[in-house]
Amino acid sequence: MLLTQRLPEPYRPEAAIVAQRLTSLGQALDWVAVARVAAPWVQAVRDNPPPFWAMESLLKEYPISSAEGLALMRLAEALLRVPDAETAIALTADQLGRADFEGSSDKVISRLSSTAIALSKHFLPTVGDKTGEPGLLAKLGARTVVAATLRAVQLLGRQFVLGQTMAEGMSEAVSAKKKTPNLRYSYDMLGEGSRTDADALNHLKSYQNAIAAIATTSSPTRACEDNDGISIKLSALHPRYEYAQVDRVLAELVPRVWGLCEQAARANINLTIDAEEVDRLELSLAVFEALLAKVAEQCPQWRGFGLAMQSYQTNAQELVQHVIALARQYKLRLMCRLVKGAYWDAEIKRAQELGLPHYPVFTHKHHTDVSYLACAKALLESPDALYPQFASHNAATIAAILQMAEKTGSPFELQRLHGMGEGIHDEVLKNPQIACRVYAPVGAHKDLLAYLVRRLLENGANSSFVHQLADETLPVAELLVSPLRQEPHPSLPLPLALFGTQRPNSAGLDLTVPAMRDSLLAAYASTQVPSVPVFDAKLVSGPLSISTSSYKTWSKIPVTERAATLRQSADALQTQLPQFCALLVKEAFKTWNDAISEVREAIDFLRYYAAQAEAIMQPQTLPGKEGNTMLGITGESNELFLTGRGAWVCISPWNFPLAIFTGQIAAALVTGNTVLAKPAEQTPGVALAMVKLMHAAGVPEGALQLLHGPGETVGAALVAAPGVAGVVFTGSTQVAKTINRTLAAKDGPIVPLIAETGGINAMLVDSTALPEQVCDVVMQSAFRSAGQRCSALRLLCLHEEIADHVIEMICGAARELVVGDPADLATDLGPVIDAEAFAGIQQQLQRLDVEAKRLPAQSGKGQAATSKVANLIAPQAYEVANISDLKQEIFGPVLHIVRWTSDPLKVIEQINGLGYGLTIGIQTRIDSRAQALAHAAHIGNVYINRNQIGAVVGVQPFGGEGLSGTGPKAGGPHYLYRFCAEQTITINTTAAGGNAALLAG
Ligand SMILES: Cc1cc2nc3c(=O)[nH]c(=O)nc-3n(C[C@H](O)[C@H](O)[C@H](O)COP(=O)(O)OP(=O)(O)OC[C@H]3O[C@@H](n4cnc5c(N)ncnc54)[C@H](O)[C@@H]3O)c2cc1C
């Protein structure tokens, strides 16, 4: 099912949107008056600084931009979850050691160990209690600093959690209300988004229990807004809360949330759906509307349902208008929270990664503020539809809201996060007419981490109000300066300008945006895979002689002109991205996301090699200059030239039939060589389309010829043919060796070979890693593209202490993956490339069934799908006893898992021992360990704390060592040199009688 888009496309130019927001605000605000109201609040907070252990104080002393602040954040994120003492000690030593906690900064250690321990005695359990994990604390007790750090982190966490249980949280709330009667609470159950259905059901249970608990204190007769309420995250309630899974989400998630709504309506309490990432917004709105319809039908008297809206989104105002219209349409009064937004950094990164035309969020802080105020105005003007809840810790924002609310006279409440902005809110709440709801996280310390880091980042950002409030050097007037102005340009380069003026980034698509998605679906309907005639291997001498003679002219063309044809090809490919994606889906069974990434990679190769060739192929005078002085012996000139070598054979694989195919031929052509391209026999159609595109862009037909046919015949004949100047090959190690032997056996010049081959790629995970993050990267690395990437994860090495938990999560998440027709947007894994590959993998699975322990990674649905689409293999996982049990790469969605203990360097040694060296993932929060492991690994591409696939051209040059290839790395600065011959020309400039230049000087 495809959703109709409710809001405008989120990727639009920022300046025009801000101008519109300013216009909609008009003269609504008198900022001088706003600042006048807010200034005494600020002064009062500055006059009564919070205690040392409060977040504001810590961040003031150790900002996250400093090594110390970063160390504290890292520790806060990871330390509490580390189950084993050795690793906890290593993590603490690493983080405290890398920051400057010596000399004048010694205060951190002394304060952590004295103040934190002393304070924590009041709050925290000591050795041997439920939460403190006895073994760990007891062992760490010997190391005072480590123990102090652990306690300090727990203390820090406690700043933000109202209680570890609802009972504890509610009793805290009762005490706080005694002090400040105009407080209300919205409880939030801590925890990461669900990766498995079991997680989702656990979250559901905890929301149900929380609502039941809140219901005991709520009153059916009081206005709903006067009761405490609950905030829920939809991503916690479904393991695949993603746009692509819309059918499942509507069928499975809506009933779960509806149950909670009914419960909340019966208790007459507010239930707010938290706002999450922009790419889930349309999906959230679909869920929200489905629920609204039910509320309108079954409990229209309930006035507590609502959602949170983020003003940093460029679509915020349209969202507000949409929700107001929905409330009126369903004749409901909603309670809606306006926030600025908590995922700004993640939104920026995603837009950059996807190569989107604009950011979906504002890039200047004051634009977010302008948007917030414009949205607030719209909310206050619609009291029939909404009861607005303004969540902010910013004194100026709050004062501006109060000013606008006074004019409209509409009811509203303020909101703040527990542990944040208390000082300002205390000042504001001296007015008993104003109510404030506290967002109150409840949960165990171990579930606090992600939430805590969000808050640390939020408070630590230089632009954050809370951060600036703590900076007493910043004058109050500056802190409260009016945001009501517009910047003409974004504060960051747009995603397409990330690589500077050297080359434009390739543009991608966001499949959640109909206009972007529709172009792909239209192309799919109209694109045919061309049939490509098979070349007769006996006739290779013909194309070879064309190639050799074409070399004579093509190599003489200036490099700038050759580069221009590549750039033209890139532009054409960018324009035809939907058609090439469709071809990739049809011929290579790529999923849509994989297809987009692949076309973008091909575009990047073309542009990157064009720029590289222009840079390296300029004549270079040697030995060069120092300042203005020419170095070297007088009376002679020396120049170094790079030239092409001749006719290259380019043999590419089916798993990247466009990107690798294009990368190889672009590199050869731009350096002045001619090309005989032999694509994989499974994917000649994509290759033919690309060759045609390049011919149309100006590459002569003789310089680029396509010879389609089996590797054993056409490939072998090309490699063996006399006169070939070089071979570039991507494929199996075995075939690379055969090619190498053939070339070595030939008479004549020694022919260079660039071989990029496979790998048994491992990922090492220690016990500091976040299991959810590990699970995400394993799903992507092992199963994306049905495991048919040379970079794919094959061997996951898990620390014994976390292995059971992580394996359970991985298997649960793998069971949620959708296997099926790749043209279906919901599909995660399409079929493997052909029946032969399928049979080969099945054979390996049969072997593994005997030799290893099969893990339950496959769902019944996945199994059922395999009977409908040919060559489908659902995700597979096996536990093996030893790393050395892996003898060869299985090129499919098959993951091996092994457990390890003690020294992680020993694990790396064993991985090195496999002989392959393509990619490795390292998951650890111990930075020094990550570095040591990376340098110990004889592996070409090392990825720390991320997935290990999807290398970006010019950013992560790709290629391995050992059994994984010869290098140089594709998409890197050294690649083109291997395609070139070098020539120096030395001229004796004194030959004609004497050294005129010397005498003249
Ligand atoms: C009760 C409550 C509930 C919340 N629920 C949610 C929720 O459901 N979803 C959610 O996402 N957040 C939620 N938050 C978090 C909220 O988004 C942040 O607390 C809020 O952004 C802080 O705003 P401020 O006015 O206190 O601080 P300020 O410091 O005035 O503003 C910070 C905001 O500016 C943005 N910003 C910083 N730099 C830039 C820049 N260069 N360009 C553009 N914008 C920038 C930040 O991303 C942030 O949104 C909630 C907060 C509260 C208080």
Q: 130 falls in which pLDDT band (50, 70, 90)? A: very low
Q: What is the pLDDT of residue 133?
A: 43
Q: 53 falls in which pLDDT band (50, 70, 90)? A: low
Q: 86 falls in which pLDDT band (50, 70, 90)? A: confident
DSSP character for 62? S
Residues in contact with ligand 1 by the CB-under-6-Å rule are 274-275, 308, 310, 312, 337, 339-344, 362-365, 367-368, 391-394, 397, 415-417, 439, 458, 461, 463-465, 491
Per-residue pLDDT reduced to its tens digit, 695-743 = 999 999 999 999 999 999 999 999 999 999 999 999 999 999 999 999 9
Q: What is the pLDDT of residue 652?
A: 98
Alpha helices in 303-387 (DSSP H): 316-329, 344-354, 365-380
- Give me the residues paired with residue 987 across strands: 637
- Separation of alpha carbons 172 and 716, rounded Å: 76
* Distance (Å) from CA 344 to ligand 1 centroid: 8
Per-residue pLDDT reduced to its tens digit, 511-535 = 999 999 999 999 999 999 999 999 9
Q: What is the pLDDT of residue 109?
A: 47
- Residue 681 burial (CB count, 10 A): 18
99 has a pLDDT exceeding 80: no
Per-residue pLDDT reduced to its tens digit, 584-640 = 999 999 999 999 999 999 999 999 999 999 999 999 999 988 888 888 888 999 999
* Distance (Å) from CA 391 to ligand 1 centroid: 8
Per-residue pLDDT reduced to its tens digit, 732-768 = 999 999 999 999 999 999 999 999 999 999 999 999 9
Listed in order, strand segments (DSSP E) in 190-275 are: 229-232, 271-273
Q: What is the pLDDT of residue 995?
A: 83
Q: Name the average pLDDT for the chain.
A: 92
- Summarize the confidence of residues 127-156 as an average pLDDT: 54
Give whole-number Cα distances, 937 to 65, 808, 918, in Å: 30, 28, 10
- The token pair at 562 is 């050759």
- Residue 518 burial (CB count, 10 A): 12
Ligand 1, closest atom to CA 344? Answer: 47
- Annotated active-site residue 756? The verdict is yes
* Distance (Å) from CA 462 to ligand 1 centroid: 13
Q: What is the pLDDT of residue 24?
A: 97
Max Cα distance, the chain (Å): 111
* Distance (Å) from CA 873 to ligand 1 centroid: 43
- Residue 634 burial (CB count, 10 A): 11
142 has a pLDDT exceeding 50: no
* Distance (Å) from CA 340 to ligand 1 centroid: 4
Give the residue, out of 188, 284, 339, with the most ligand 1 atoms within 8 A of its beta carbon, to mutate for a pocket test. 339
Question: Is 467 in contact with 59 (CB distance < 8 Å)?
Answer: yes
Is the peptide bond prior to 623 cis by the omega test (within 30 degrees of 0)? yes
- Annotated active-site residue 436? The verdict is no
SS3 content of the chain, % helix, strand, coil (to 5): 50, 15, 35
Q: Which residues contact 784 (CB under 8 A, 6 or more apart)?
A: 594, 792, 828, 829, 949
- Going by alpha carbons, the residue nearest to atom 17 of ligand 1 is 341
Phi-psi region of 207 (alpha: psi -120 to 50; beta: other; left: phi over 0): alpha
Give the residue, out of 284, 463, 492, with the most ligand 1 atoms within 8 A of its beta carbon, to mutate for a pocket test. 463
Q: What is the pLDDT of residue 102?
A: 45
Is the peptide bond prior to 968 cis by the omega test (within 30 degrees of 0)? yes
494 has a pLDDT exceeding 70: yes
Least confident window among 121-130, 459-468, 559-568, 958-967: 121-130
pLDDT greater at residue 80 or residue 128: 80
Give the residue, out of 340, 398, 436, with the most ligand 1 atoms within 8 A of its beta carbon, to mutate for a pocket test. 340
In angstroms and rounded to an integer, the radius of gyration of the C-alpha atoms of the chain is: 32
- Give me the residues paired with residue 917 across strands: 961
- Going by alpha carbons, the residue nearest to atom 8 of ligand 1 is 274
* Distance (Å) from CA 452 to ligand 1 centroid: 14
157 has a pLDDT exceeding 80: no
Catalytic-role residue among 336, 436, 790, 980: 790
Catalytic-role residue among 68, 277, 347, 756: 756
Q: What is the pLDDT of residue 309?
A: 98
Question: Is 868 in contact with 888 (CB distance < 8 Å)?
Answer: no
Per-residue pLDDT reduced to its tens digit, 394-442 = 999 999 999 999 999 999 999 999 988 899 999 999 999 999 999 999 9
- The token pair at 558 is 């200036």
Q: 111 falls in which pLDDT band (50, 70, 90)? A: low
- Summarize the confidence of residues 978-998 as an average pLDDT: 90
Ligand 1, closest atom to CA 437? Answer: 1
Task: Give the whole-number percent of the chain exceeding pLDDT 70.
Answer: 94
- Residue 257 burial (CB count, 10 A): 22
- Summarize the confidence of residues 888-894 as an average pLDDT: 96
Ligand 1, closest atom to CA 233? Answer: 8
- Separation of alpha carbons 119 and 53, rounded Å: 9
Q: What is the pLDDT of residue 52?
A: 65
What's the burial of 336, exposed, middle or buried (CB within 10 Å: 0-12/13-18/19+)? buried
**Parallel/antiparallel/unpaired status of strands 876-879 and 853-855:** antiparallel
Question: Is 742 in contact with 777 (CB distance < 8 Å)?
Answer: no
Ligand 1, closest atom to CA 363? Answer: 42
301 has a pLDDT exceeding 60: yes
Counting Cα atoms < 13 Å in the Cβ hemisphere of 270 gives 32
Ligand 1, closest atom to CA 341? Answer: 17
- The token pair at 451 is 């939430």
Give the residue, out of 18, 65, 365, with the most ligand 1 atoms within 8 A of its beta carbon, to mutate for a pocket test. 365
* Distance (Å) from CA 480 to ligand 1 centroid: 17
Q: What is the pLDDT of residue 85?
A: 80
DSSP 619-663: -EESS-EETTEEPS-TTEEEEEEEEE-SEEEEE--SSSTTHHHHH
